[in-house]
Amino acid sequence: MRLRRVVLTFIAIVPLLTILAYGFFRDARYIPSPIVGRPAPSFTLTLFTGEKLNLSDLRGKAVFVNFWASWCPPCIAEAKQLESTWQELKDRDVVFVGIQIQDVEANGRKFVGEFNITYPNGLDSSGRIAIDYGVWGIPESFFIDPDGRVTYKHVGGVGPSIVIAKVGEARQKIVSAKEGKGEYQPIR
């Protein structure tokens, strides 16, 4: 009787431990985002300028949302390129939004000044926006079409050619089946 309990317990626990081990050791970059192809989670962001930015106010435009932190090397590497891409696209019904996470606001302001970033940026002080978007590493970027639907997600540093291509697809309401991958900094 006792041997039977041990065997049954073993049979019940081994599959559970196997599933947990799989989850802990799986690279999160390969877990697809559940929000791609769905309405973008709404948010209100207080910008470094003190103004409020509501995602819903940007309907009718393609939106590029970039999560970043001042201490993140891949974020530093992409900062100048994102600003130059913004300068190239800003007159084409596109809005870039930078959301600083897991950082100090003063460092974010310094970062924005150092790289002469002119598109709207602000701190997600509660982390709520990052949670709603399922951000697990930075930089992490989302492309949103004029109807407010997420069309593409890119984990890691993103270059101008990808941003331009994916903004163009977002403007045409094309949802990408694959997510982009680049150099990133985990935030776990």
Task: Decide: 106 and 29 in contact? Cβ < 8 Å.
Answer: no
Q: Tell which residue, 167, 152, 143, has the closest CA to residue 92.
A: 167
State the chain's maximal CA–CA distance in angstroms. 76
CA separation for the pair 78, 184 (Å, rounded): 11
Distance of CA 31 to the CA centre of its chain: 14
Residue entry with tokens 């039977």? 4
Q: What is the pLDDT of residue 155?
A: 92
Percentage of the chain with pLDDT > 70?
91
Of the two residues 81 and 188, the one the predictor is more confident about is 81
CA dihedral (178, 76, 184, 32) positive or negative: negative
Can you tell me whether residue 119 is helix, strand or coil?
coil
**The two three-digit tokens of residue 167, written as one number:** 């903004």
Provide long-range contacts, Cβ within 8 A and 24+ apart, for 107-116.
107/70, 107/71, 108/48, 108/69, 108/70, 109/48, 110/70, 111/68, 111/70, 111/76, 111/79, 112/48, 115/79, 115/80, 115/83, 116/83
Q: What is the pLDDT of residue 94?
A: 97
- Provide mean pLDDT across the span 176-183: 82
Mean pLDDT of the chain: 91
- Provide mean pLDDT across the span 165-170: 96
Angle ∠(172,173,176) on CA atoms, nearest 5: 110
22-74 residue pLDDT tens: 656 666 566 778 899 999 999 999 999 999 999 999 999 999 999 999 999 99
- Beta-ladder partners of 67: 99, 140
- Provide mean pLDDT across the span 6-29: 70
Length of the chain: 188
Q: Which phi-psi region, left, alpha or beta, contains residue 134 (left: φ > 0; alpha: ψ -120 to 50)?
A: left
- Provide mean pLDDT across the span 115-131: 97
